[in-house]
Chain A
Amino acid sequence: MYSLEFTVNGQLCQVAVDLKTTLLEVLRDKLFITSPKVGCNTGDCGTCSVLMNGKLVRSCITNALSAQGKEVTTIEGLAEAGELHPLQEAFHDNYGAQCGFCTPGMILASKALLDENPKPTREEAKEALSGNLCRCTGYGKIIDSVMAAAEQMAQAKS
């Protein structure tokens, strides 16, 4: 067993892992952070998406030890000082969440996009979310939510 030390949503954590442990297993089974889901466990569906050092990754195929010393953000870490992130508001307001199973991953993928490209086109938003599957919405309302959040964030800045 190895000791993994990393930061999750601003908190330093230390857990014991072995060679085969995935970041998803650490988050769900050891830290009880259950917002990243086990959808496929092969990196195909995107429900386990988290941010690692600000970049979108699949926690189900991320070897836990490769997170050593890094900063991981799950959707629990998005709200600041009790204020929801504009993406969370937008997904709620625009019906971007339906059954909710893909939602945490979808919002984190959207955050990774807006952090890098605050004014995406719809096409760019689709590309950014292309690895995250949803079976309820048909994606239209998800893209609406991303565009609404981008708009709202741009207004808040000006």
Chain B
Amino acid sequence: MTMKVVGQRVKRYDGMAHVTGETRFVDDVIVPGTLTIKAFRSPVAKGNIKDLDTSAAEAMPGVAGVITAEDVPCNAYGLVPDQPVLVEKAVRYKGEPIAAVAAVDEDTAVEAINKIKLDIEEEKPVFDPLEAMKPDAPKVRPEGNVFMFGERPFRQIILGDVEEGFKKADIIVENEYLHPSLEHAQLEPQASLAVPDAGGKLTIYTVSQALYFHLGQLLGILQMEPDKVQCKQWAPRTGSSWRHNAGFSDINYVGGTVGGGFGAKNDIHADHVTALLALKTGQPCKWRWTREEDLLYSTFRGAWRMTIKDGITKDGRIVARQIKSIRDAGAYSTLNFYVVDKHSFLAAGPYFIENVYVQGYCVYTNKPPASSMRGFGITPATFATEVQIDKIATQLGMDPWEIRFVNAFRKGEHTATRRVVNSVALVEVMQKLAEKAGVDLPDKLMTMTSTERG
């Protein structure tokens, strides 16, 4: 039987629309009478709002609507619903949205934003996660600056006994690795268009990479019925904005065409605000972030500080690996805790190590919230562990290739979380890689296989 797709080169299903310019991204959807949205953002990184006066903006000709925290039925969202759509009192990062304006055009919207008066009591912010972890640090969040993974202030992974492992080791290699924050810089900025339909329903054109997550959260934010009070109280893990009375049919959520995401669009950035303003004004509302806003205030890959301590025997086997990682989460949980989870589960690398101890911390600071980016927390871990392997090789006087071959997963072995790996080919991949790179590896490495540990 000849396969139509398997083993064949298949053209992109949307490729033809891309090369003819027909692909319609969110900002390309044009609905007559659409209002332009601009946000009023906090000028300080930490503070307490004393007074917010939007009356001058509201009175301006051409302004159709202004919203503040008061207009948000359930002002807490996220997987752990801790992030307000618009700040009510406590500002946690510079640029955090406090109000939003919908006006006939961009010039009017910007002018209206400039007329909003804010009286804010500035407080001392904390930017460094290490500082934020100290007991007397300024509180980013009332419940504390360190995310609680259940009862522990860190995600803990234990396999075997690292202390016993270190005793068996011939050398110990310990290093600290820093990974800076990174911006996705996807070419399509955050954008959203909400169009009110008859009967209070909405059509929202979204850049979301996580349609159903976001649809659920939006229904929570917009809920018009009970639980209003309860939902404003933040409770760990038991999401309130997940509970909603509106049905999925109340929002026609149109997505799937994303002009680059890379994780930048796994959190709601604009859909909640366009939805609220569309409901308030009864008119279509569009919010396209400027590139500057996107770079400064959208989510990004948070910074990491990782300490790795390895115990290695003379033959290059890693017999114990201890990792302490600290993730700079910014002001809200977003997907940060999931990022730390994935990091902790896989930080030991694609190597079979019998004794592993990982502590993954997720620490709040007064910066814009970090969140997902390609590979979640695994990519920074890979950077750190692979540099660590090169350092081990130098210290042992061994070829770094050999360290990787000697420790690579073999079929039937397991990860630090005791997940048995059955489909493994790291040894073979490295052999192929060496071949392609023109690296002449010794026979003892080229004859190894993933099926058995030699």
Chain A residues proximal to chain B, CB less than 8 Å: 28, 32, 34-35, 37-42, 44-45, 47, 74-76, 79, 84, 87-89, 91-93, 95-104, 107, 133-136
Contacts and interface: CB of A to CB of B under 8 A. Distances in A.
B185 A84 contact: no
Given A34-B24, A91-B19, A135 B186 contact: yes
B187 A134 contact: yes
A37 B11 contact: no
B17 interface: yes
B18 A42 contact: no
B189 interface: yes
Contacts of A99: 18, 186-188, 258-261
28 contacts: A28-B28, A34-B28, A37-B27, A37-B28, A37-B259, A38-B189, A38-B288, A41-B290, A45-B291, A75-B19, A76-B20, A84-B19, A88-B19, A88-B20, A92-B12, A92-B16, A92-B18, A93-B11, A97-B12, A99-B18, A99-B186, A99-B187, A99-B188, A101-B259, A101-B260, A103-B18, A133-B187, A136-B260
A37 B187 contact: yes
Interface in B1-35: 11-12, 14-21, 23-25, 27-28, 30
A156 B20 CA distance: 21
A34 B189 CA distance: 15
Contacts of B262: 135
B139 interface: no
B184 interface: yes
A125 B450 CA distance: 42
A96 to B, nearest CB: 8
Contacts of B20: 75-76, 79, 84, 88
* Residue among B11, B12, B259, B261 having the largest count of chain A Cβ atoms under 10 Å: B259
A100 B186 contact: no
Interface of B: 11-12, 14-21, 23-25, 27-28, 30, 184-189, 258-262, 288, 290-291
Contacts of A76: 20-21
Nearest to B15: A92
Nearest to A95: B12
Contacts of A87: 19
Given A34-B21, A37-B187, 4 more contacts: A45-B291, A88-B20, A92-B11, A100-B23
Contacts of B21: 34-35, 74-76, 103-104
Given A99-B258, A101-B259, A41 B187 contact: no
Contacts of B259: 37, 99-101
A36 B275 CA distance: 26
B187 A47 contact: yes
A38 B106 CA distance: 14
B295 to A, nearest CB: 9
Nearest 10 A-B pairs (CB), nearest first?
Answer: A35-B21, A101-B259, A100-B18, A34-B28, A97-B18, A75-B21, A40-B291, A88-B19, A92-B15, A101-B187
A103 B19 contact: yes
A34 B286 CA distance: 15
